[in-house]
Every structure is written in structure tokens, then in C-alpha cells.
Amino acid sequence: MSEKQKLSLDEIENELTKNPHNIKMRVLYAEMLIEEGFLPDAEDEYKDLIKIFPDNPELFFNLGVTCEKQGNIDKALECFEKAAELNPQDPDFRYNIAFMLDKKGEFDRAIKEYKKTIELNQDDANAYFNLGYIYARDNDSQQAIEHFKKAKELNPDDIYARFDLAFEYKKTGNTQMAMNEYMELVENCKSYSWAYFNIGCILYEQGDVGQAVKYFLKTVEANPGDIETYKILSDISATPQQALEYLEKGLEENPGNGELHYYISTVYEKIKKYSEQLQHLRKATENRDTLFINPLLVSDKIKEVSKKVK
């Protein structure tokens, strides 16, 4: 067991009180401050240590981590660049430079740094994934697919690489490959609601409404709060009664949801059940924090329907 595992933060502080010049203990102390979330204190400690060891890349790297965790991306980037300058062969330093540039939106520079990371470590799945994400953002699906495939190969458990790979296949018109990836994904991660949803969309586009409904139902089973999918289920229902059943199920899972109440009101309007329509319009306005239709328009609709009920 390492010394770090043996000692608590309080114990390390006690040791430093006895011997404030114990450099090994101070490094350990700084690491523990990061782990415990005392980031400004960790930052100060690393700055002091760097004054003693100005050529230590690990100290600059860890200072960069504390800055990143505090949201100071520019300072973090500066520290990671200094670490890489001191040790150009460390792929972690290079990756963190790329990641900070990525966060700053400097994508061209980020691409170069991710590629340098891969040169140093050809097994860095995250670098491949992030490159794929940038290429997808730029609508370069060919490059995106290549990099997502590599990320998946290196880390088969990465559900995001699988999902984004499938998404890019669909964008390029390779629907069957997209379906294969989505199906493989839900087989390995049964709670990934977005994959079920996209499968449902593909099946609906292909005219297989029955199977599409099956996967939309799996979507809301995995994510009962997915209001939009309940609405889609109602839209593709064969009968108003079926549409109402789906929407009512959505309300069971999301009590008092204004959007669902409004959508139910539109179904009742179609079948000319104005009392029920009015009831749900009023419920929609009572729950306007979850209503995405302008409440003023709903109020006008209430006035209009009230005349029909009378």
C-alpha cells in the first residue's frame, strides 16, 4: 500500500507541521488537496513547489489540472504546454493541451495536438474519439467515421463512440451500418434511450411503423422523462384512443407536465371532445413551467373552446 493510501489529509498536515520542508510530503499533500476538492489550496501548493523545482513537468501538469477544475482554461493550457515543453514525449501532457484547445474552440490547433498525442500513444481511445467529434462537427463524416471506429476498437465499452459512429453512418446514407451499430449498442447498454430512439426513427422512415413503435416504447422505458417521444408515439398512433393512451402514460411518468396536457388537448380537439380538451388546456396553463407553447396562445385557446363547451 502506498503512503498516499495510508495517510489522510489531516495526517499529512500534521506531518508537515512537524517538518514543513519534507518535499515528498508536500507533493503528496498537493495531490490530496486536489482529490479532496480544495483546489485553490492545491494551486497555491503547486505554485510554491514549482518555485523549488521549476523544471519538473509533473508539477506543471498537476497545476494545470487544478486550474482546469476551477474553470481557468487559459491558465490550464499554459501549464500543460509548459509540461509538454519540459517532457515532449509524454502523451498525457499533449492530450491535455489538445483538450483545452478543444474546449476553447480552437479546433484546428486541437486536431494537430490530438494527432501528436496519437503519435506518442497509438492506443489513446479518447484522442481518436475527440478527433472524430471535431470532424463530425465539421461535417467531415469520412474522417469522423474512421476515428470513431478506431475509438470503438480501442475501447469497446465506449457507448458514445458507438453511438456517434452509428449517427455518422446514418448521415452518410449507410442506414444498415447505422442500424447494426445501434443494435449492437443497445445489446450492450440496455439503458441508452437515444439509441432506441434513433432505431425507432430509422424504422419509421423505412415504413415499419409497428417496429418503430416498439423501439419508441423502449425509449421511454429507458427514459420515462422523454416527453418528445410520448408525443411522437401519439402522432404515429393508428387511432386517437391509442394516442391518448400513450400520452396518459407519459403523464403517469411525468405528473403535471404542461406540454403533455397541451398535447392531449389537441387529440381531444380532433375528436371534438371539447370538455376534455378544455380540462387539459387549463391543466397546461397550471403547469406552465413545463409548457413550451406560449401560455398566452393557450389562454386564447381556452377562451375559444369555452364557448364550444357552453
User: Same CATH topology for 139-223 and 230-310?
Assistant: yes
What is the Cα–Cα distance from 298 to 222, expressed in whole angstroms? 31
Whether the Cβ atoms of residue 46 and residue 30 lie closer than 8 Å to each other: yes
Q: Render 98-158 in DSSP notation, one character per residue.
A: HHHHHHHT-HHHHHHHHHHHHHH-TT-HHHHHHHHHHHHHTT-HHHHHHHHHHHHHH-TT-
Q: What is the pLDDT along the chain (310 residues), one digit of tens a residue?
A: 344 456 788 888 787 778 878 888 888 889 989 988 999 999 999 999 999 999 999 999 999 999 999 999 999 999 999 999 999 999 999 999 999 999 999 999 999 999 999 999 999 999 999 999 999 999 999 999 999 999 999 999 999 999 999 999 999 999 999 999 999 999 999 999 999 999 999 999 999 999 999 999 999 999 999 999 999 999 999 999 999 999 999 999 999 999 999 999 999 999 999 999 999 999 999 999 999 999 999 999 999 999 988 7
Residue ranges per structural domain of the chain: 1-122, 139-223, 230-310
Whether the Cβ atoms of residue 49 and residue 65 lie closer than 8 Å to each other: no
b/e burial code for range 266-279 (CB count within 10 A of at least 16 → b): bbbbeeeebebbbb
What is the Cα–Cα distance from 278 to 298, expressed in whole angstroms? 10
> Could you tell me the CA-to-CA distances from 295 to 251, 256, 260, 290, 307 in Å, in that order?
19, 15, 14, 11, 19
| Percentage of residues of the chain with pLDDT beyond 70 | 98
* Domain 1-122 classification at class level: mainly alpha
What is the dotted CATH code of the domain comprising 230-310?
A: 1.25.40.10
What are the pLDDT digits (tens) for 87-134? 999 999 999 999 999 999 999 999 999 999 999 999 999 999 999 999
Looking at this protein, which amino acid is placed at residue 272? K
What are the pLDDT digits (tens) for 156-200? 999 999 999 999 999 999 999 999 999 999 999 999 999 999 999
pTM: 0.86
Residues whose CB is less than 8 angstroms from the CB of residue 306 and which lie 6 or more positions away in sequence, other chains included: 278
* Domain 139-223 classification at class level: mainly alpha
